[in-house]
Structure 1
Amino acid sequence: MQQKKKILLSHSGKQHSYYVARALNDLGYLRTFYTSSYIGNISAQKLIQKLDLTFFSRRFLDGLGGNKVHSSWKYEIKELVYRRLKGNTQAVSQLVYDRDVKFDKDLAGKLHRLHFDAFWGFQGSSRECIDKANELGKESICEMTIAHVPFAKRLLLEEAKLHPEWAESIDFVSFPAHYEMRLIEEPLLAKKVIAISSFLKKTLVEEGVTSEKISVIPLGFDANSVSFEKENESINNRPLRVLYAGRITQRKGIKYLLDAIKCFNKKDVELHIIGNVYGKGQEFEKYKDLYQYTPGISQLQLYKQYKDYDVLVFPSLLEGFGLVTIEAMGAGLPVITTANTNASEVLRHGLNGYLVPIRDSQAIVDAITRIRNMDNPEFQRMRQLARLTALQYTWDVHKEKVLTFLNSI
């Protein structure tokens, strides 16, 4: 039997890296997971869960203890404090960039002393490590989590010109020159690239990354934690409860959803928004009579609350994947979203949701209206299909795809 390659996994923050680490560990490939902030002590994890400490509950994952995790909070603590004090702003984003560069540089300086066969890093915090792994003759893997930066900048700068009043709410558009260069170079230098959606792969190929070295591994969701009721309350004698969940930024097309909701009477359609505001939020505030707003909540709370809504609208201009769509579908919510997400993987137009063009409020109106006008049996069928689709994208399925990828390198 061929000996399994030992993988050094690295991420300066979080995203879905904990799930990748757990998958690699379960499969017997993980050497060490290097990250900034992780709570590895099992007793501490259980206490945090018991006390329902939201912030700290985000800093570990069931099934991933600390014996193979090397964490150092020093890289992230300043960013975490500033984010708590100032919210999601460009100044906090600058701290993220600084964290990525420092973390990457420090780890790259150690690689020659570490025992591993392949380096697996994430977009933004892997440039130096990829270079060093290549120099050492190791396999180098870069996992991309959002559309490639040249593509993203063109689209989002165009959006800022279309709606300058929303420009300061657009994230992932303005970077220091040195950081933007590392985002461009990472997938070019890595021997293998992982894209978490077909859309993301498309943006890489358009910017010159070799298609043959890119593998698409879609993300998963925690099917056991997301509440699903086989048949919910009829939608025919009450308002349709529309959900938007995620960072409130024009990158995710929030203005187009708000403009769409203007077309409905509140007795027919309610809009519920859950998430933290990026930027000052002045334009978002102008629409406050149109929605019910809840600031960002923990992942576990959101899992429980999906069932309180009927449909998710996610009109994003630019994603890497859009995990919220899978989670919502897992709870039985049909999804209205754009092609610039994971739609090519998960959406079956007219069956488990609706595909709409980016920047098209009228298309959002039409899609919501179709669902609003459904009789209850038709709506329940759409809910069931949404759930069945989501079950094809669990973290267990993701782990199987990781194994397929590992067997190919």
Structure 2
Amino acid sequence: MKVAVFHPGTQHSRQTALALQQLGQLAFLATGLFDRPGGRLRRLAKLLPGAAGQALVGELNRFASPLLDPQLVRSFARYELPERVLARSGFGSVASMFDAFANDWFARRIAKMASAEGPFALWGYDNSSLTAFSHLAAAKVPKILDRTIADWREWNAAIDRIAVRHGDWLGPQVRPASASLIDRSDAEYQLADHVVCGSPFVIDSVMRHSGVPQIEHKLHLLPYGFDPALFGNAPAPEARPEGEPVRFLFAGQLSARKGIQHVLEAIQDFSPEEASLTCVGSIHVPEARLSTLRSRVDFRGPLARAEMPALMQAHDVLVLPSYFEGSAVVLLEALASGMAIISTPQAGLGPSPSSGVMIDKPDTALLGAAMERLTSDRDLLLSMRRAAITDAAEYNHDAYRRNIAAFLAGIGI
């Protein structure tokens, strides 16, 4: 039986679809935006004046997947593009309302397509699968839920801890998960025949919080892989020249959830000659927390994915002291780029003791000690960066494809 993969946005759906395509088991990938050279959106971008056209080109560049067969991709921009335009224009609440409506609309369409053309197994993602899984057309096919984030009840416990010590870092975008979102998660667990998770942290959180009967028998560990078209061709790391600072990088949403407060507190204990810090991603903390740091930290804002490999190769250490993830793919991309890593168990799979430092929990003192260890021992730093390239082989696309093949064989697909 072939598999229909669907997600109105991205997550890692393109990597899943590519692996299934290479295995000969992809029915189709259904998504919102897909960059087709010469397609309608590219033609529209050429017609739009100035900044509007450039913005659309930048957005499309984020959705380039040159290894995917365009004939196996069904793209529905009307389900995704309006939400992105609304969000980028400052209408966040309206964007969220449209997103919820469009996701259900999109999922109904996918369930009908998969039934009419198949039957195909359905591979969907958290918060986007309930409608498709509950549709009558999906009643008799295997339903695979890709749980890309830990259980939301785990986040609600974490945000309470953050509020006690770093409440002033909680921007308005960072909120507890609603009861309706939690209920939706449990409904997706219930309907799914199998739930694949990117890290043990996700599995543990679902088992700890969900009351869905027999949930433990549905859970499968399926480590993610990095994009072979962008990462994996990094040159062997070389020692940082004497006198240059160790270059630390934070990549991801700058939010209290990802532990940016610990990174920015820790960097202040180092002189600019010892360490530099670059932060890439949208800012979700109050500006008051950053204003005094802008002369010390290079805040780049969001970057196109195509820019990330070169940026990573120009840095030494990725720091991600996160409170709550699924399994951050940025860790795998950093390994493939020859970066040492400092992270938490909550951040997900990635570094081994040879390629990084796993601190016990998100904490400024623990993070600072790990950073000090790597700034003071350049030989250790170089050794970890070289080991990162080796460790990345466990998470390259070939490994991800093999893991998917084994998973599907194990469940009889």
- TM-score of the two chains, using structure 1 as the length reference: 0.88
Report what 1:218 is aligned to: 223
Code of the residue aligned with 2:23 in structure 1: it is: L
Structure 2 vs 1, CA of residues 147 and 157 (structure 1 numbering), >3 Å: closer, same or farther?
A: same
Report what 2:51 is aligned to: none
Structure 2 spans left out of the alignment, 5+ residues: 46-53
Report what 1:32 is aligned to: 28
- Pairing 1:71–2:75 present: yes
Code of the residue aligned with 2:222 in structure 1: it is: I
- TM-score of the two chains, using structure 2 as the length reference: 0.88
Report what 1:358 is aligned to: 361
Shift of 1:111: 5.3
Code of the residue aligned with 1:85 in structure 2: it is: S
Structure 2 vs 1, CA of residues 133 and 289 (structure 1 numbering), >3 Å: closer, same or farther?
A: farther
Code of the residue aligned with 1:211 in structure 2: it is: E
Q: Distance in 2 between matches of 1:361 and 1:90?
A: 33
Q: What's the secondary structure of 2:196's corresponding residue?
A: strand
Q: Is the 8 A contact 1:134 1:140 kept in 2?
A: no
Report what 1:379 is aligned to: 381
Q: Is the 8 A contact 2:123 2:144 kept in 1?
A: yes
Residues 318-356 of structure 1 show CA distances to partners (whole Å, capped at 9, x for unaligned) of 1111111111121111100001022xx43223x211111
Which deviates more from structure 2 when the two are superposed, residues 324-333 or residues 222-231?
222-231
Residues 116-162 of structure 1 show CA distances to partners (whole Å, capped at 9, x for unaligned) of 23111111110021123686311111001111112222222432344
Q: Is the 8 A contact 2:115 2:137 kept in 1?
A: no
Q: Distance in 1 between matches of 2:80 and 2:408?
A: 30
Q: What's the secondary structure of 2:74's corresponding residue?
A: strand
Which deviates more from structure 2 when the two are superposed, residues 240-249 or residues 275-284?
275-284
Shift of 1:231: 3.7
Code of the residue aligned with 1:143 in structure 2: it is: D
Residues 181-207 of structure 1 show CA distances to partners (whole Å, capped at 9, x for unaligned) of 212321232011110111111111112
Pairwise mapping of residues 10-409 of structure 1 onto structure 2 (< 5 A)?
A: 10-40=6-36, 53-86=57-90, 92-108=95-111, 112-132=115-135, 136-168=139-171, 171=174, 173-175=176-178, 177-208=179-210, 210-222=215-227, 225-226=230-231, 228-234=234-240, 236-278=242-284, 281-342=287-348, 345-349=349-353, 351-376=354-379, 378-409=380-411
Q: Is the 8 A contact 2:152 2:177 kept in 1?
A: no
The alignment yields a C-alpha RMSD, in angstroms, of 2.7
Q: Is the 8 A contact 2:149 2:327 kept in 1?
A: yes
Q: Distance in 1 between matches of 2:94 and 2:162?
A: 21
Q: Is the 8 A contact 1:40 1:67 kept in 2?
A: no
Structure 2 vs 1, CA of residues 262 and 33 (structure 1 numbering), >3 Å: closer, same or farther?
A: same
Shift of 1:98: 3.5
Q: Distance in 2 between matches of 1:113 and 1:234?
A: 58
Structure 2 vs 1, CA of residues 111 and 330 (structure 1 numbering), >3 Å: closer, same or farther?
A: closer
Q: Distance in 1 between matches of 2:314 and 2:296?
A: 18
Residues 223-266 of structure 1 show CA distances to partners (whole Å, capped at 9, x for unaligned) of 56335232424354221111111111111000011111111111
Q: Is the 8 A contact 1:149 1:184 kept in 2?
A: no
Q: Is the 8 A contact 2:223 2:395 kept in 1?
A: yes
Which deviates more from structure 2 when the two are superposed, residues 28-37 or residues 383-392?
28-37
Q: What's the secondary structure of 1:146's corresponding residue?
A: coil
Q: Is the 8 A contact 2:335 2:392 kept in 1?
A: yes
Q: What's the secondary structure of 2:144's corresponding residue?
A: strand
Shift of 1:66: 2.3
Residues 39-68 of structure 1 show CA distances to partners (whole Å, capped at 9, x for unaligned) of 3458889999xx994321222311212212
Q: Is the 8 A contact 1:169 1:249 kept in 2?
A: no
| Percentage identity across paired residues of the two chains | 23
Residues 291-326 of structure 1 show CA distances to partners (whole Å, capped at 9, x for unaligned) of 111111111111111111111111111111111111
Which deviates more from structure 2 when the two are superposed, residues 8-17 or residues 76-85?
76-85
Code of the residue aligned with 1:56 in structure 2: it is: L
Q: Is the 8 A contact 1:223 1:330 kept in 2?
A: no
Code of the residue aligned with 2:170 in structure 1: it is: A
Q: What's the secondary structure of 2:306's corresponding residue?
A: helix
Q: Is the 8 A contact 1:143 1:193 kept in 2?
A: yes
Code of the residue aligned with 1:76 in structure 2: it is: E
Residues 59-99 of structure 1 show CA distances to partners (whole Å, capped at 9, x for unaligned) of 23112122122221111122111233239x56644543343
**Residues paired across the two proteins, number:** 397
Shift of 1:28: 1.3
Shift of 1:101: 3.0
Residues 368-392 of structure 1 show CA distances to partners (whole Å, capped at 9, x for unaligned) of 111111143x332211111110121
Structure 1 spans left out of the alignment, 5+ residues: none
Q: Distance in 2 between matches of 1:365 and 1:61?
A: 38
Q: Distance in 1 between matches of 2:16 and 2:147?
A: 13
